[in-house]
Amino acid sequence: MSRRAKREEKVKSKIISKLIIVAIFLGIVFFVLRVAPNYVNNEITDTANLVINNSNVTKDLKKNVIIEEGIIYIAKEDIQNFFDPYIYYDEKYNQIITTSESQVASIIVGEKTMENNGSTIKVSGTVIERNDTYYIPFSSLKDVYNVEINYIESTNTITVDSKNRKYVVADTKKDNNVKAYPTIFSRNVDSIEQGETVTVVQNKENQNEEVDDWTEIRTDTGKLGYVKTNTLVNEYVYREAMEESNKVDEKVSMVWDYFSEYYYAPDRSGTDIRGINVVSPTFFTLVDEGQGKINENVGDEGIAYINWAHSNGYKVWPSLSNNSYIGTTSEIMKDYKFRQDLIENIVSLILKYDLDGINIDFEYMYEEDKNLFSRFIIELKPRLNEIGATLSVDVTAPDGSPEWSLCYDRYTIGKVADYIVFMAYDQNGISSPVEGTTAGYNWVKANVEKFLGQEGVEANKLILGIPFYTRVWEENSNGEIVGKDAINMKSIDSIVPEGASRTWDDNLKQYYIEYVENGITHKIWAEDEESIKAKLSLIEEYKLAGASFWAKDREPESIWSIVSESLGVE
């Protein structure tokens, strides 16, 4: 071999050596970046691990779980985060109040009894206070939260499974190492033997092509990890998910049927109302200073009304009004026992008269009671779920006066109740210093957007309340308002003289009517088929839950065909 050939061979050998070194280096980098993290042991071992519905939430706990004398205690803040966002410390009675889908429970701090849906139950643990933190005896509340709880001492792990969620198990057909990640290049978190039954994790959001051949499981020691899918056999649905809803299957079309506590329910036998699937007769009002007592105005006439409604396929959600008793309402809202008395009375009336739900119509409340009114709704909803009754709650437009508007937490009410009803009327009402429309389209639309935007209400829970009345505003020659009487929608044409000025306002989607009689100028912003149709169009535009109408017998018969067509309700 020539000297030149030897030199070229030597250079070539050096290049190959360098390439090998680079390849080794890149392999090390790849291993460090992609493979080595899979072998890092990041398990928490210095405290009990909490696995909720096959997700280890230990690192997200604000306080460590406490296990004493076989009782599992979880901090109130963590209960709030994972189980009950509305768990509440009631200072007046020194108790914790917690709710679930169909349960309301209260435990006095330090006592081993629990009030659950009106019944007193002995429990093995109690609420304890340590370092300004309340710890809840979670293992005593498994029935309240409808969960299965298992403590695995060997791994110091607590598993919690909701009974209303789907639960799947499978057998392994071979001895298996359970991997921390869906790859063979991963540390082992546990091992399982052939024939062992494991829990199959459901509904993981991070499923992708990389894990298609792998299945996440939970072993009987509470460990979560992955095994090859083809090593599992006999997959079995141990429990199906339970979905309960009190919502109407179609758009809600509700009409309030008003009669005062001094009159009887109307006789509607032999009639029907096209386009309606819910009626709300004004059966119930609070007893003034009654501490939760309810005045019921049902009687034989009301029973006949309920039978008429059910025979026509209508749901019956009677109205419970506070009659604007602001002091009485405040007294009830501020006292857990009064709230519970009111709730027990509501439940009893629903069962007594075979009702389908209740419509809470509390208007005129103190702003300071806003959160307590929400507490009432939070505590009422589980009791209604227990008996399969629907809860709807009436509220006014946002951004109004303290006692009329700012007294509602619309976000919380919208989250908890089946429906929240926006009473979209009295834009200019009896207390208004200036004349104007009762419910202009642009005002209604703007407030619907506020409900869905700043108030955070879900569209499929929002019912739009529509008026079947307006007002006749009267001005003297000095421009002073001397009258503002409400008038039924069906009566407008009968009182307006022939030749009165009618002008269409496209912003309000209403006719403005003006005429003079006996030196008094009369002004009407009319509700008619066109104005109602315009407001109904917002339900489809914003995908709302439906509409409600105040009130029956104020409307012309022709309006019901428009309601039926707009809402798709026969």
Helix count and strand count (H, E) for the chain: 12, 36
Q: How many Cα atoms sit within 13 Å of 434 on the Cβ side?
A: 3
- Which two structure tokens, joined as six digits, stand for 99? 């709710």
Task: Supply the pLDDT for residue 209.
Answer: 44
Of the chain, the percentage scoring pLDDT greater than 90 comes to 87
Read off the pLDDT of each residue in 533-540 and give the average, rounded to a whole number: 98
Read off the pLDDT of each residue in 314-335 and give the average, rounded to a whole number: 98
Same fold flag, 49-149 and 164-239:
no
CA 422 to chain centre: 16
Read off the pLDDT of each residue in 347-352 and give the average, rounded to a whole number: 98
> Scanning the structure block, which residue is given the tokens 């969620």?
165
Read off the pLDDT of each residue in 47-51 and give the average, rounded to a whole number: 96
Q: Rounded to an integer, what distance in angstroms lies between the CA atom of residue 539 and that of residue 529?
A: 16
Read off the pLDDT of each residue in 359-374 and give the average, rounded to a whole number: 98
Task: Supply the pLDDT for residue 148.
Answer: 97
Q: How confident is the model at residue 428 (pLDDT cuts 50, 70, 90)?
A: very high
Q: Rounded to an integer, what distance in angstroms lies between the CA atom of residue 481 and that of residue 342?
A: 42
> Scanning the structure block, which residue is given the tokens 């690192």?
59
Mean pLDDT of the residues in the chain: 93
Lowest-confidence pick of 242-251, 419-428, 476-485, 495-504: 242-251
User: Is residue 5 pLDDT above 70, yes or no?
Assistant: no
Task: Supply the pLDDT for residue 31.
Answer: 52
Q: Rounded to an integer, what distance in angstroms lies between the CA atom of residue 66 and that of residue 168?
A: 29
Q: Rounded to an integer, what distance in angstroms lies between the CA atom of residue 282 and that of residue 406?
A: 25
Q: Rounded to an integer, what distance in angstroms lies between the CA atom of residue 267 and that of residue 386?
A: 32
| Phi, psi dihedrals of residue 108, rounded to the nearest 5° | -70, 135
DSSP letter string, 478-524: TS-EEEEEEEEGGGHHHHSPTT-EEEEETTTTEEEEEEEETTEEEEE
Task: Supply the pLDDT for residue 245.
Answer: 80
The per-residue pLDDT for range 134-175, each reduced to its tens digit, is 999 999 999 999 999 999 999 999 999 999 999 999 999 999
| Residue boundaries of the structural domains of the chain | 49-149, 164-239, 252-466+528-567
Q: State the pTM of this model.
A: 0.92
CATH homologous superfamily for 252-466+528-567?
Answer: Glycosidases (3.20.20.80)
What CATH code would you report for 49-149?
3.30.457.10
Task: Supply the pLDDT for residue 402.
Answer: 96
User: Is residue 44 pLDDT above 70, yes or no?
Assistant: yes
CA 191 to chain centre: 42
Task: Supply the pLDDT for residue 45.
Answer: 81
Strand (E) or helix (H) holding 189: strand 188-192
The SS3 call for residue 118 is coil
Question: Are 183 and 38 within 8 A, CB to CB?
Answer: yes
User: Is residue 208 pLDDT above 50, yes or no?
Assistant: no
The per-residue pLDDT for range 244-293, each reduced to its tens digit, is 788 899 999 999 999 998 999 999 999 999 999 999 999 999 999 999 99
User: What is the torsion angle, in degrees rounded to the nearest 10, for the CA atoms of residue 76, residue 79, residue 85 and residue 88?
Assistant: -30
User: Is residue 205 pLDDT above 80, yes or no?
Assistant: no
Task: Supply the pLDDT for residue 206.
Answer: 47
What CATH code would you report for 164-239?
2.30.30.40
User: Is residue 10 pLDDT above 70, yes or no?
Assistant: no
Tell whether the torsion through CA atoms of 367, 371, 375 and 381 is positive or negative: positive
